[in-house]
Amino acid sequence: MIYAGHDYVEASMQFARRLEPENPDIGPYLAKYDPRHVFSTLADEKKVNPYLQNMIPFMSFPPWPMKKKSIHICGSMRRR
């Protein structure tokens, strides 16, 4: 079980939908969302959280050292 320190679920799922509009797991993930008690599982996060997925090519870079191009792409996707 993963308990969130911050509640960014709705904003994060909007971002995830822009990256993966055909992801069938986002809807059920949001259906379980309760803003009064924000938690998840690692299995669910791996299905919907683009930062934990290797299937999106530019998200699968190694975290250290981070490549400027990858950071720029992630930042520009967030702003859209």
Could you read off the pLDDT of 33-78 as tens digits, one per residue?
Answer: 998 888 899 899 989 988 787 655 555 555 545 555 555 555 555 5
Its pTM stands at 0.64
State the distance between the two ends of the chain, measured CA to CA, in whole angstroms: 31
Phi-psi region of 24 (alpha: psi -120 to 50; beta: other; left: phi over 0): alpha
The Cβ-side half-sphere exposure at 65, using a 13 Å CA radius, reads 3
Neighbour-count burial of 44, counting CB atoms closer than 10 A to its CB (0-12 exposed, 13-18 middle, 19+ buried): middle
| Range with the poorest average pLDDT among 3-7, 19-23, 25-29, 37-41 | 3-7
64: left (phi over 0), alpha (psi -120 to 50) or beta: beta
